[in-house]
Structure 1
Amino acid sequence: MDAVELARKLQEEATCSICLEYFTDPVMTVCGHNFCRECIRMTWEKGKGKKGRRKRRGSFPCPECREMSPQRNLRPNRLLTKVAEMARQHPSIQKKDLCKIHQELLKLYCKDDQSPLCVVCRESREHRLHAVLPIEEAIQEYKVKLKESIKHLRDEMMTIEKLQIKEDQTLKEWQEKVKLQRERILVEFEKMSLFLADEEQRLLTVLKKEEEETSEKLRENKAILDQQSHSLETLLLELEDKNEHSALQMVQVRQGDLCPLEENSLKTQYPEAVPTVLKTVCRVPGQIEMLKSFQVDVVPDVETAYPHLVLYESRQRCYLSSPVESTLRNRDRFLAYPCVVGQKTFSSGRHYWEVGMNLTGDALWALGVCRDNVSRKDRVPTSPENGFWVVQLSKGKKYLSTICASTPFTLMEPPSHVGIFLDYEAGDISFYSVNDGTHLHTYSQATFSGPLQPFFCLGAPKSGQMVISTVTVWVKG
């Protein structure tokens, strides 16, 4: 008898025939059969109500052989208690090694169902046609596959370990790069701060020198005028005094005393006019590049354009304007002068856009922002009071009266590209020359009362073109 069969026999001897589990507190009947004390008690309790089964008082049939056995004669089987404990602890005869249906050892393995079988299951209709092999062979195959899987997993673990080491090294290198870059940023911004401070001081020094030189010339001119005014006042008093003389005294006065200006060649000297146009410009290095980080794509709203305003989309190579007859019916269209607004409205945040210009001859344009509810039918001054914050770009000496009822900030020599920066929360609208980064003008106020739109206005036909993003705008002659 092999070890497996011996273990099976031991398992059978240690198993209660009622609960089919290992004995718990086993007892022996008179007939020599063993049961768990609780199992035999429950069996006899159930049999009390059945007539004809009890032959004598206090005796019950044995579940195995049906021989009558007195209930009080149940004897504990301590040896079987030890055997049951041994069977319970023995690894080769655990319940999992037995067929749950037939309580036989699982000696076979079904490859089709991938499950262990006992010899009884093998002959069943369910497994009769399946491929079956001894469980030892299946275990050997499984061990081979398991060994291959273990090897593969170990290889994978080694690969992952190498990758972990590499990633740790990469992380350290990355952190070192970030550290160096952080230090570089701090150093470069410190240098830029020092440079900007020096440039600020230089511009302030140049401005102060310009202020002092112009102020000195203006003071000199004022002193000359004061001196001549004093001399003229003295002569005027003398002449008025002589005017009080009698007629005879006047006749006796020399002609030179009567006409001091001609006799003494005293002439009024008017000082040369001092120009008061500032030469020192406000230019912050790198400011335009910084503002471009807030750049937005501004596109003119065709539905609001003046009827004779032509819009051409260069990217799509097509005209966006509508026929004049149909556009006049649009209540949102500008009718007072050649204007158009952007499609987007801004009620928060910071926004920057640029406008290109190609002026020809005398022209007047206006750029900036306006409230989204400004008057588009009437001719109103383009002033902040009416909801317009614009810079007027003028070339030549002609002005457009329909726009200039309240003249905004005007440039006589407008740049070819203008940048507009809106800081809604700060209440600022600033204008810059994109070519050299010069600050042109800033409107500042506490708050805006509503949404704002980019505003573009042309002066007259044949005055040039305005380029807004990819759209070219001009007035049809």
Structure 2
Amino acid sequence: MASAASVTSLADEVNCPICQGTLREPVTIDCGHNFCRGCLTRYCEIPGPDPEEALTCPLCKEPFRPGNFRPNWQLASVVENIERLKLVSPPGSDEEDVCQEHGEKIYFFCEDDEAQLCVVCREAWEHRAHTVRFLEDAAGPYREQIQKCLECLRKEREEIQRIQSRENERIQVLLCQVATKRQKVIFEFAHLCQFLEEQQSILLAQLEKLDGDILKQQDDFDVLVSEELCRFSNLISELEEKNRRPARELLTDIRSTLIRCETRKCRKPEAVSPELGQRIRDFPQQAIPLQREMKMFLEKLCFELDYEPADISLDPQTSHPKLLLSEDQRRAQFSYKWQNSPDNPQRFDRATCVLAHGGFTEGRHTWLVKVDLAHGGSCTVGVVSEDVARKGELRLRPEEGVWAVRLAWGFVSALGSFPTRLALGEQPRQVRVSLDYEVGWVTFVNAVSQEPIYTFTASFTQKVFPFFGLWGRGSSFSVSS
């Protein structure tokens, strides 16, 4: 049987020069070259630059007559036989299955030399002491090793794909965080620009008033000085005239003239009054609010960029039955009517409290609590440890895993080992709660005035949850980032 290489070589000899494929219905033209009938017909139909010019062979450029196609039946038979040989020759039955040295079919594999051997090679002196096996027998263990490698590689690929998916999700989260920080920077700087423009207008107006007051006092000073100069000039002129007169006229009323001149006191006017001078010296004090606002702005901006806004929602599985939660689980209202809530280990049964979903085991997080105590009552906000008591009495202090402050009508208390009433500039109605898990800080700030309320220092060892307590008819709170 012809080898695959010889079949391929013959197939190359019966290719059409136009389509480069095997000849189909081969025809011969005047010069003796062969082409597919269809290829040559289409070639003849292509219009040339000169319609009267004779067609030329695509290979040798010899003229030929379009209608003078001669079928080459012998060549067609050769093409058919070659196609049949190509179908009969199985894959792999090429020269690679034959020993290049002896021309015999390869049956064996030498484990020591990793060489494929024919019968003659097998009997050669250099392979007699080696481990030689049939090809399929030798391939079996290697197939098993390949299968094990494939399993390991597939597992590693799956792990990489999981890492890729996880990191892509993390990248999206980071992109969202960057977008949030960008919006915060834009908002805070816009607020700062507005404040600076207002402060600039105020300071410039005050400087303008100082300018006006200085110019007014300058005018008053000029008038007073002119009057004094005029009076003294008149007295000087009178005395000079008196001094030029004869003795009899000079002595006339001399004493009254001298007394009038000597008792004339010179008023020493001031161009700028002490009060105006003090106002000018005190002007830098007008920039103190600006300095204070800039300090607060920088602190707030650093804080906003350092802490991640927490997406807080309330967990109905932990809510006391007297708390009414909104559908979006971001607002709670106190009610004396008990809700039909199934009992479970997570639910508070005596303390009218609720926890947020999720919890934290690392990082810096912040959230906003808006409190409505228009009808009295109290609201407690903070964080609690995961194992905080859900059943029975709940002592709100750090020793029990609670770090919180209580807002009541008219006062705020830090719930430490002993509750401490705090002296604040104003009653907060929006509280910013911030958690630094690694450092162990729980910070409360008036979200409107940026006045610090209280900071707890702790050492967290387990998951902590945002914590909310509520008491009093109509009292409510809502959470946001």
Specify the TM-score bucket, using the shorter chain as the normaliser.
Answer: 0.3 to 0.5
- TM-score, normalization by structure 1: 0.39
Q: Which has the larger radius of gyration?
A: 1
- TM-score, normalization by structure 2: 0.39
